[in-house]
A and B are shown apart, each in its own frame.
Chain A
Amino acid sequence: MSAAPSRPSGGQAALVFPGLMLGAFFVVPFGLMIAVSFFQRVQGGFYEPVLTGANYARFLSLFFGEILLFSLGLSALVALVCLLVGAPFTYLLTRLSRRAQVPWLVALLAILSLSEVIIGFSWSTLLSRTAGVSNLLVALGLMASPAAFTPSFAAVLLGMTYQALPYCVLVLYPSFSRLDPSLGEAAQTLGASPARAFLTVILPALRGALAATFVVVFVFALGSYLLPQLLGRPQHWTLSVLITDQAIYQSNMPFAAAMAVFLVLASLLLVSLAALFGAKRAGGAA
Chain B
Amino acid sequence: MTRLFLALIGLFLAAPVAIIAGVSLNAQQSLVFPPNGVSLRWYAAIATQADWRNALLTSVSIAAFAAALAVAIALPIAYALWRRTTVVGRVVQLLGVSPFVLPPVITALGALAFWSTAGFYGSSFTVVVSHAIFFTSLPLVTLTLGFSSIDREIVEAARTMGADERAVRRTILAPMIRPYLVSGFAFAFVLSLNEYIIAYMTVGFTMETVPIKIFNALRYGYTPVMASISVLFVALAALVFGLVARFGDLPKLLGAWERR
Chain A residues in contact with chain B, CB under 8 A? 1-2, 4, 6-7, 10-12, 14-15, 17-19, 21-23, 25-30, 32-33, 36, 46, 85, 88-89, 92-94, 98, 101-102, 105-111, 113-126, 130-133, 135, 162, 165-166, 170, 173-174, 177-178, 194, 219, 222-223, 225-226, 230, 240, 243-244, 247-248, 253, 256-257, 260, 263-264, 267, 271
Tell me the bound Cα distance from A107 to B14 in angstroms. 9
Q: Does B32 lie within 8 Å of A117, measured CB to CB? A: no
Rounded to whole Å, the gap between the CB of B139 and the closest CB of chain A is: 11
Cα–Cα distance between A178 and B256 once the two chains are bound (Å) = 6
Interface of chain B, main secondary structure = helix
CA distance A117 to B9 in the complex (A): 22
B248 to chain A, nearest CB (A): 11
Determine if B16 and A119 form an interchain contact, defined as CB atoms under 8 angstroms apart. yes
Q: Which residue from chain B places its CB closest to the CB of A33 in the assembled complex?
A: B110
The answer on a CB contact under 8 Å between B88 and A15 is: yes
Q: Which residues of A contact B99 (CB under 8 A)?
A: 26
Contact B211 A14 (CB under 8 A): no
**With A121-B214, A267-B103, A271-B101 in contact, do A28 and B114 touch (Cβ < 8 Å)?**
yes
Q: Are A12 and B251 in contact (CB under 8 A)?
A: no
Cβ contacts B1-13/A at 8 Å (1 or 0 each)? 0100110011011
CA distance A174 to B141 in the complex (A): 14
Q: What is the size, in residues, of chain B's interface with A at 8 Å between Cβ atoms?
A: 95
Task: Report if B233 contacts A (CB, 8 A).
Answer: yes
CB <8 Å contact, A121 and B218:
yes
Contacts A18-B73, A26-B95; A89 near B6 (Cβ below 8 A)? yes
A109 CB contacts on chain B under 8 angstroms: 237, 241
Residues of chain A within 8 A of B6, CB atoms compared: 89, 92-93
Task: Add 7 more A-B contacts to A94-B256, A264-B102 (CB < 8 A).
Answer: A25-B129, A118-B194, A170-B254, A219-B103, A253-B109, A263-B106, A267-B101
**B28 nearest CB across to chain A (Å):** 13
For B31, the chain A residues whose CB sits under 8 A away are 125, 130-131
Provide the bound-state CA to CA distance between A132 and B32, in Å. Answer: 8
Whose C-beta in chain A lies nearest to the C-beta of B129?
A: A25
Q: Are B255 and A173 in contact (CB under 8 A)?
A: yes
In the complex, the answer to whether B230 meets A122 with C-beta atoms within 8 Å is yes
Return 14 A-B CB contacts under 8 Å, by A number.
A22-B96, A32-B117, A89-B9, A92-B5, A94-B256, A98-B260, A106-B242, A110-B234, A110-B238, A113-B237, A126-B19, A131-B22, A170-B254, A264-B103
